[in-house]
Amino acid sequence: MEGTNARAEGEVVELLQQLIRNACVNDGRVESGHEERSVRTLTDYLEGPGLHLERFESAPGRQSLVARIEGTRPDAPTLLLMGHTDVVPVHEEGWREDPFGGELIDGEVWGRGAVDMLNLTASMAVALKQLAREGFRPEGTLVYLAVADEEAHGTYGAGDLVANHYDAVRADYVITESGGIPIPSPAGLKLPIIVGEKGLYWCRLRISGTPGHGSQPYRTDNALVKAAQVVQRLHEFRPETRIHDVWRRFIESMGYPDEITEPLLSSDGFESLMESLPVGMARQFHACTHLTIAPTVVQGGDKINTIPHTVELDVDVRTLPGQTIEEARAALVEALGELASSVELITLQAIESTSSQIDTPLWDSLSRVTQQWYPGSETVPYLTVGSTDAKYFRGKGVTSYGFGLFSRKMTFEDYGSMFHGDNERVDVESLSLSTALWTQVARDLLG
């Protein structure tokens, strides 16, 4: 067994390095991504006895790979391990190491995608290969999906597969990112399982003015000046605190003292408590309990000596469980106040929040097997404030969680800061833990 573990560790490090070096950067354009590179890498690695492989291409170069170990009982459950192969762009000047070098430095693999989420994509593949080598023949079916386009919301990946090739990815249970960061608490070590995610409402605010000459700005209707006021209104808007069930269960399990628990479960005192928390934790906790509005892109003006007549502002709105897209639009109108009459609201993309039940066989399985590495720990529900491909499967009624298993070296604060950030990296121990986790969950859940 020790030799098997060492082999798996070496393979997951090498596979992760190659996936990073493939640089499948997704900037949102259909011609970006090039996930075919990593599908080739994974196909070369996984091909062999015991595995059936299928490729799907939704647009040139936008490939996804499905691999499976078929179960012996048609009525037994199917588990889908889903990792994406695309990564977000980088600003290289902020990196200490080559973001696409995949270097192993002091026990850590560096590079874009190391935590989001090529680490899990690689470890899932290695676990699948390890089980196939062992001749694993479960009652239930084990499916591995290396999917394209997650970083642009899955139009050319999970969205296409669920809509057009659902039989290839049909499952009773799905595990994807992110979860599993060990969180110390007064009540012991907690392992968060992502059971839901916020919805999103992406929109464009078109702000109109009157054109004029830049040499005569007095009393002009300058769309850019008006847009600045709009940005300030959005920045200052304070949506109400909402304590939903997932948040309540998470906080109640942490064992914080009353002076922390009470404001975290109440709209009274929540904002003031945020000021005293570490910034990474405060951002997470605030986003988990509030509709958020972030102006992110501005475009306008024709030339330096012309008063602009139109400015367009892109805004990222994220909604909580139970909140509708209509509520998101209403919040924007409320934030703008009297300026709303000068703003045209254009919907770009709208996806409502999704969540899965907690009391399921998959939850029980994760709770059981993690005791091998973290005895006495407790799995707790958590809400991711971003968006994952789990939403497509939850839309089909499939129990879908985000999880992995990380070492104590990976703190909640570090993990959050590296998502889409600089100097992304993951330690080898975390890679080994996740690889071992997938093999044990497959054995425990599928029989």
Give 44: exposed, middle or buried? Use CB within 10 Å, 0-12, 13-18, 19+: exposed
Cα–Cα nearest to 84, from 128, 131, 121: 121
What whole-number distance in Å separates Cα of residue 156 and Cα of residue 168? 15
Which two three-digit tokens encode residue 50? 């015991």
Active site residue 378: no
Asked if residues 311 and 300 have their Cβ atoms less than 8 Å apart, the reply is: yes
Name residues whose C-beta falls within 8 Å of residue 303's C-beta, 6 or more positions apart in sequence.
Answer: none
Rounded to whole angstroms, what are the CA distances from 258 to 184, 254, 382, 439? 17, 11, 20, 40
Active site residue 150: yes
CA distance 9 to 93: 31
Beta strand 199-208 with 292-300 is unpaired
The Cα–Cα gap between 447 and 428 comes to: 29
Biggest distance spanned by C-alpha atoms of the chain: 79
Q: How far is CA 414 from the centre of its chain?
A: 15
**Candidate list 36, 150, 172, 177, residue with the active-site label:** 150
CA-closest candidate to residue 438, choices 130, 49, 4: 130
Q: Which candidate in 86, 149, 172, 197 is catalytic?
A: 86
The catalytic residue positions are 86, 150
